Each structure stands twice: as structure tokens, then as C-alpha cells.
Structure 1
Amino acid sequence: MLDWLYDIVGRILVWIHTGLTFIGFDTDSGWAWGLSIVLLTVLMRLLMVPLFVKQMNTQRKMQDIQPKIMKLRERYKHDKERLQRESMKLYQESGTNPIMGCLPLLLQMPVFFSLFSVLRSVAEGNARYGFDEELVESARAALIFEAPIAAQFNSSPEELLELGASDPIMAKVIIAIACVLMGTTTFLTMRQSIKRSISQMPDNPMMQTQKIMMYMAPLFGLFGLMMPVGVLVYWVTSNVWTMGQQHFLYRNQPVAGAAQTKNEGNGSAKGMLSRKKVAETTPEPKEQPKIERKQPKKQSRAKRTGGGSR
């Protein structure tokens, strides 16, 4: 059913590989095929940058209307249908579409499954999805640090040798390391996103669920044991790109509350500096000479009354 999509992804991969071999890479090398997958991932992510920016704007708008949503939940807590209608009305009035928050991830999945299907077809020796017989044999022979690009961790030693691995044990070690990298980068990417979400909406009722998913992210590495090495390269590259992209955009679009606090802090610091500067430039008042007034000496009572001697 999705053969047309698999064919598009396969042909783009072949075009990138052809371009790399044209500039001097060895046709059958793992560098040529591995870099082709990396560039395919980068190309796909570049096309999705506008969607990611729109996702961030959607999250900011949802943060702004969160107090209104909470009021609606409190007002219509016993009327679910009315709550849904009023919430959708509020989203429409504010120009917010909650689906945009998930759209970049949803659009990545078809490319992921397409690449998985293309590499599985290559591992089986099928000339499909833009690959001819020569390209299939070239991709099957490509090694990334002794691991065939179309091999999986559960591949038998005979299959690994057939795919071109010189040392099946080392090939499995390389695949296991790639799976660990996959789980680690997935965890770091989700942690970065959830920290941003917490700063935006501390009272988000889904926060606990998101944290559970974040701590389960390293388990994604176990799924990598069933994926071809090329798919693992795609996944790790995509995660690294996401971390860099989120860091750049989050830094240039800080959370509203954090930005306000920072501005207030800067304002307070500037105020303190200005007051200090005024205090330094204001001349100290000169000390006025002390005026001493001479008081008459106090006489004894006998002298004042004149009865000192009789």
C-alpha cells in the first residue's frame, strides 16, 4: 500500500549515493552508503524545520490560553460535551491547533518505515524501490565499522558473513553500540523537550505521563536490535539533529515567564548600577565647622546665696 512512498525514499537514497560517488567516494564503501542515509535524514529534517517552528508557536499559544482552559474545565467539569465544544471554540479564536504539536513526529514515521522497508529489501537481495541489481550488491557489501548496513542484531553469523561481515561477533558489538546510542539520544531529546514543556506549563496534567515515557526512552534501544544498521544510523542522526535544532530555537525563543524574569532581573541590576553610579558621582557634603558655645561656669550654691561664711 505504501510502495509508492518506499519508492520515493529509495530513489532519493540512490540519488544521494550517486552524488557522493561522483565527488570521489568509493561506490561500495560504508562511508558512501552511511553518509547517504545521514544526508537523507538531514534533507528530511530541513524540510520539516518550518513545521517545527510552527509547533513551537503552537505551544506558546497554548501556554497563553492555558488559564482559560483551566477555567473551562472547572466550569464544565460535569459536562464533557460542552467542555469539548468550548475548548475547540477557544482554540479556533486563538488560532491554535493542538494537532500541530504532534505533526513533526507523525511526519517522521512514514520516512522511518520507508527506510526500514528499503533496507530490508536490500538485505533480502531484491532490486526494488529504485535499486538495480548492482546497487543492491553494493549496499549489501557496505560495512559501517565492520557491521553490514543491511544487517540486524538478530541476524545469524552465516547471514552476517553472507552480507560481507568479516567478523560476525564484532558486527554484533557494533550493532549493540548503535542501539545504545539510539536509546541514549532518544532519552536526551525527550528530556530536553519535557524540560521546556515544564517551564511553559507547570500544571500540565499530562506531565507525569510524559516523564514516564522519557524514562522509558532508553528501552527504545531494545527495538533497535530488530532494525537494520542503516535505520539505526537514520534514527541517531535524527535525534542529534533534533537536539541541536531544539537548543537553537529554544535559546532564541525563550519561555515567556523566563524572559520576563530575566528582564526584571536585568532591570533590577541596571537600577542597582545606576543608583551606585549616582552615589559615586554625587559629592559628599563638606563637614561644617563645629560652633562651640561657651557656657558660664556653674557656681556653687554657697557662692550664689552668699552664705559661704559667717
Structure 2
Amino acid sequence: MLDWLYNIVGWVLIQIHSGLTALGLDPDGGWAWGLSIVTLTVVVRLIMVPLFVKQMHTQRKMQEMQPQMAKVRERYKNDKQRQQQELMKLYQESGTNPVMGCLPLLLQMPVFFALFSVLRSVAQGQAQYGFTADLVHSAQGALILHAPLAAQFTSSAADLEQYGANPVTAKIVIVIACVIMGLTTFLTMRQSIKRTAHLQVADNPMMQSQKIMMYMAPAFGLFGLGMPIGVLIYWVTSNVWTMGQQHFLYRKHPVPGADGTAPASSTPNTSAKGLLGKRKESAPEPVEQPKIERKQPKKQPRAKRSGGNPQKK
């Protein structure tokens, strides 16, 4: 189903490799193939820079909206449907789309899986996705720090030895790459959370879930044991790029209150107020009060009211 994407990623990787070999690098060496993957990663991340900037502004707006969102949740805590309606109104008035907060990651994942599939086919000796038999053989024999490009931790010793690699050394290199991958994933998430931690509400479920994901990030390195080392190069390069990109853009667009000044929510002219204006929440629908009917006493005959019989004249 995604063969068209695999073909694009394979073609781009081959073109970058051809360009690097034209500059004098050994076409069968690990430097040529390793730098091809690094260059592919940089190209993908450069294309996504505008999306990352949009993501950063979206996250900032979301943080500024937290006090008003908390009020909406508290006011309509017993009416989930009304609560969702008011939150959607809040998003619309601020021009915020929550999906933009995770869009760059969603767009990176197809490229990640495409590269994984391309390198897996290379490891299996399959000439597809733009690779010829000669290119497959060249990529299979490329050693990156004594580990074959398509090698995994689960690769057998015989498979590693046929490419001229020491099985023990190759697996040590793969383990180190997995540790670096998990560590850089943790640092990128910590960098993002630390930036807006002073704006978060203590019991905010979004903040709690982000912290849980951050501390689980090092465990992602375990998944790297089943990935080709070429994919680990892509992941580590992407994480290092993200850390540098976030550091530059966060300094250029600091969060109010991060430099020791009063945060936006504590000043009269708050950025959240400027962002959302004077928002008036929809008044709750009036509850119809039951009508009180007053029963008038029945008019009694005059004789009964006087307490005796009427006198005959």
C-alpha cells in the first residue's frame, strides 16, 4: 500500500549516495551510505521546519488557554457534551488546532517506516525500491563503526561475518546506538516540557501524560534492538536536529514568564486575554420553574357563612 512512498525514499537515498560518491567517497564504504542517511534526515527535517514553528505556536496557545479550559471543565463537569462544545468554541475563537501539536511527528513516521522497509529489503538481498542488485550488495557490505548498515542486534553471527564484521563488536555498536537513541529521545521531550512547565497546572492531565512519556522515552531504545543500524542513524540524527532546532527557536520565541518575569496569566494585559479577547461563555439554559397554582376557596351560601338558618320575613 505504501510502496510508492518506499520508492520515493529509496530513490532519494540512492541520489544522495550518488552525489556523495561523486565527491570522492568510496561508494561501498560506510561513510558514503551513513552520510546518505544523515543527509536524507536533514532534508526531511528542513522540509518540516515550517510545521515545527506552527507546532510551537500551537503548543504556546494551548498553554495560555489552560486557565480558561480549567474553568470550562469545572463549570460543566457534570455535562460532558456541553463541556466539549465550550472547549471547541474556545479553540475556534483562539484559532487553535490541537492536531497541529503532533502533526510534525505524524508526518515523520511514514518516512521512518519507509526507510526501515528499504533497509530491511537491502538486508534480505532484495533489489527493489529503486535499488539494483549492485547497490544492494554495496549497501550490505558497508560497515559503519564495524557494524553492517542493515545489521540488527538479532542478526546471526554468520550474517555479520559474511560482511567482514566481528559479531561481538557489531552488536556492541548496535547497543550503544540504541542507548544514544533512547537518551536523545528523552532529552528532546524534556527540553520541550521544561519550556512550558511554569505555565502548567499541577493536576493538568496533559502535563502528567507528557511526563510519563518522557520517562518512558529511554525504553524506546529497546525497540532499536530490532531495527537496522541505518534506521538508528536516522533516529539519532533526527533527535539531535530536534534539540538544536528547539534550542534556537525557543530562544527566538521565549515563553512569557520563562525569564523570571510575571507570566501572562498574572498580569492585567495577559497574552491569553489578548489572544482570546473578552470571551463570554454561553450562559446556561434557564431551567423552567414549575407554576404555582393558588386554589381559591369555594364561595359558600350565605346561610352557611352566618352559621344559622335564614329568618323568614
Q: With structure 1 as the length reference, what TM-score do the two structures score?
A: 0.82
Quick one: structure 1 residues 260 and 218, their matched pair in 2 at CA, closer, same or farther if it must change by over 3 Å?
closer
1:186 partnered with 2:189: no
Q: Which residue matches 2:168?
A: 169
For 1:259 and 1:95, the matched residues in 2 are separated by: 26
Q: Which residue matches 2:280?
A: none
The answer to whether the 8 Å contact 1:199/1:255 transfers is: no
For 2:156 and 2:97, the matched residues in 1 are separated by: 48
Aligned length in residues: 262
For 1:258 and 1:193, the matched residues in 2 are separated by: 13
The answer to whether the 8 Å contact 1:182/1:236 transfers is: yes
Unpaired stretches in structure 1, ≥5 consecutive residues: 264-310
Q: Which residue matches 2:18?
A: 18
Deviation at 1:152, TM superposition (A): 0.2
Deviation at 1:262, TM superposition (A): 7.8
- Matched residue SS, 2:254: coil
- Matched residue SS, 2:258: helix
Deviation at 1:260, TM superposition (A): 6.9
**Which one has the bigger helix percentage?**
1
The answer to whether the 8 Å contact 2:64/2:199 transfers is: no
Deviation at 1:161, TM superposition (A): 1.6
For 2:256 and 2:35, the matched residues in 1 are separated by: 39
For 1:199 and 1:188, the matched residues in 2 are separated by: 18
Deviation at 1:259, TM superposition (A): 4.7
RMSD, matched Cα: 1.4
Residue identity in the other structure for 2:135: L
The answer to whether the 8 Å contact 1:165/1:171 transfers is: no
For 1:26 and 1:188, the matched residues in 2 are separated by: 34
Is the radius of gyration larger for structure 1 or structure 2? 1
1:77 partnered with 2:102: no
Deviation at 1:252, TM superposition (A): 1.1
Unpaired stretches in structure 2, ≥5 consecutive residues: 264-313
Output one character per residue of 1:225-268: Cα deviation in whole Å (capped at 9) or x when no partner.
000000000000000000111111111111112257089xxxxx
For 1:182 and 1:117, the matched residues in 2 are separated by: 19
Q: Which residue matches 1:157?
A: 157
Q: Which residue matches 1:89?
A: 89
- Matched residue SS, 2:261: helix
For 2:68 and 2:213, the matched residues in 1 are separated by: 28
The answer to whether the 8 Å contact 2:14/2:131 transfers is: yes
For 2:185 and 2:93, the matched residues in 1 are separated by: 35
1:1-310 to structure 2, matched below 5 A, reads 1-162=1-162, 164-203=163-202, 204-259=204-259, 261=261
